[in-house]
Structure 1
Amino acid sequence: MVRVGNIFTLRRGNATEISERNNSYGDESVRLISATGYNNGGDKFVVPKDDETIYENVLAIGNNGSVGLGKAFYHPYKFIATSDVTIMLPRDKHQLTINQGLYMKTAIEKQKRQFAYGFKLSNKRLANLWINVPTLSDTDNINWEQMNIKINEIFKNIPVINQSNHDNLNSGFSLNEREWRKFSISSIFGTPMSGKDYPQYLRVHGELPFIGSSSKNNGIVDSIAPNQFTPNKIVQDVISVNRNGSVGCSFYHPYKAYFSGDTRYLKLPKKNKYVALFLTTVISQQKSQFGYGFKLGTKRLSSMLINLPVNKEGLPDWKFMEDYIKSLPYGDLV
Structure 2
Amino acid sequence: MIQSLDAKTWAQLSAFGDDAPLCIKTTDSSIDGVRLIDDDEKSVPYVTHSDSNNGLARFVSPKNYEFGSDDGGCITVGLDTQTAFYQPHKFVTGRNIQVITGESLNEDVAQFMVPILRQQMTAKFNWGGNGATLGRMKCLTVMLPVTDSGEPDYAYMAEYAQQKRDAMLDKYRKYVEAHVAELGELVEIPTLDEKEWAEFPLNDIFTVGAGKRLETRNKIPGTRPFIGATDNGNGVTGFVGNDNASKDSNVLDVNYNGAPCIAFYHPYECIFTDDVKQLSLRNYKNNKFVLLFFASFFAQQRSKYSYGYKFKEKRMLRQKLMLPVDDAGEPDYVYMEQYAKNMMLRKYRQYLAFLERDAEE
Q: What is the TM-score with the length of structure 2 in the denominator?
A: 0.66
Q: What SS does the aligned partner of 1:86 have? A: strand
Query: Distance in 2 between the 1:330 and 1:287 partners?
Result: 28
Query: Which residue identity does 2:152 align to in structure 1?
Result: I
Matched residue, 1:304: 319
User: What CA deviation, in whole Å up to 9, does each residue of 1:143-163 have, x standing for no partner?
Assistant: 221121112222332232549
CA distance in 1, matches of 2:38, 2:138: 33
Deviations 1:49-102 (A, max 9, x none): 6664534311012334xxxx344211122223222323223xxx4232221122
Q: Secondary structure at 1:142's aligned position in 2?
A: coil
Q: Deviations over 1:35-58 (max 9, x none)?
A: 234443222234456664534311
Q: What is the aligned residue count?
A: 317
Find 1:134's aligned residue among 132, 145, 153: 145
Deviation (angstroms), 1:253:
3.0
Counterpart for residue 155 of structure 2: 145
Distance verdict in 2 for CA 1:24–1:190, change over 3 Å: closer
In structure 1, stretches of 5+ residues that fail to align are: none
SS at match of 2:114: helix
The equivalent position to 1:40 in structure 2, one of 39, 50, 54, is 54
1:156 alignment counterpart: 166
Structure 2 residue aligned with 1:122: 132
* Paired residue secondary structure (2:25): strand
Question: Is 1:95–2:104 an aligned residue pair?
Answer: yes
Q: How does 1:151-230 map to 2 (within 5 A)?
A: 151-157=161-167, 158-159=169-170, 160=173, 161-162=176-177, 170-172=188-190, 174=192, 176-185=194-203, 188-193=206-211, 198=216, 213-214=230-231, 218-219=234-235, 224=238, 226=240
Q: Who is 1:79 aligned against?
A: 91
Amino acid at match of 1:134: P
- Matching residue's letter, 1:268: S
Distance 1:63 1:71 in 2: 8
- Which range is displaced more, 35-44 or 270-279? 35-44
* Cα distance, 1:227 vs structure 2: 6.1
What is the match of residue 104 of structure 1? Answer: 113
**Cα distance change of structure 1 residues 147 and 111 upon mapping to structure 2, 3 Å threshold:** same
Q: Secondary structure at the match of 1:295?
A: coil
Q: Distance in 2 between matches of 1:241 and 1:120?
A: 39
Map of 1:54 onto structure 2: 70
- Structure 2 distance, partners of 1:133, 1:226, is 35
Q: Equivalent residue for 1:283? A: 298
SS in 1 for 2:209: coil
**Residue 310 of structure 2: aligned partner:** 295
Extract unaligned runs of 5+ from structure 2.
1-10, 350-361
Q: Which amino acid aligns with 1:57?
A: G
* Bigger radius of gyration: 2
Paired residues of 2:210 and 2:246 also in contact (CA < 8 A): no
Partner secondary structure for residue 112 of structure 2: helix
| 1-structure distance, mates of 2:224, 2:156 | 26
After superposition, give the CA deviation of every residue in 1:226-270 in whole Å (9 maximum; x if it has no partner): 468x99987643323344565323222334667667x51424333
- The offset of 1:278, in angstroms, is 0.9
Q: What secondary structure, in the 3-state scheme, does the structure 2 residue paired with 1:268 have?
A: strand
Rounded to whole Å, the distance in 1 between the matches of 2:246 and 2:144 is: 36
Q: Which of 268, 271, 276 pairs up with 1:264?
A: 276
**C-alpha root-mean-square deviation of aligned residues, in Å?**
4.6
SS in 2 for 1:190: strand
Alignment CA distance shift 1:155-1:80 (3 Å): same
**TM score, norm. by length of structure 1:** 0.70
